[in-house]
Amino acid sequence: MAAGAPQGDTDFVDCVEAIHTLYHFLDGELTEYRRVEIQHHLDGCLPCLEAFDFEAELRLVIARKCRDEVPDGLRDRIAKAIMHDPGDLGISGL
């Protein structure tokens, strides 16, 4: 029997399979049936659940820390450049 599989359960996902599909699970790329299978495994397997929790938390930290605050002046210059107004940007000869 695979590590982390519930005793007596003949229709299960093993740890290797659960970890392999973890990113797909987090990204919402699994079918509903497959998602339920993986969730069932995570509910009964502490090591895989800990790996899931770590990856989910890591994604949140990266998302929070990787946001750049763009100064309003830069945002305005980019908007003007997109609208092809080189005179307002001090750019000549474009």
Query: CA–CA separation, 31 vs 81, rounded Å?
Result: 42
pTM, two decimals, is 0.56
Helix (H, G, I), strand (E, B) or coil at 71: coil
Phi-psi region of 84 (alpha: psi -120 to 50; beta: other; left: phi over 0): left
Write out pLDDT tens, residues 33-86: 999 999 999 999 999 999 999 999 999 998 888 777 778 888 888 888 888 655
CA distances, 17 to each of 29, 30, 37, 39 (Å)? 15, 13, 11, 12
Task: Enter the DSSP assignment of 83.
Answer: T
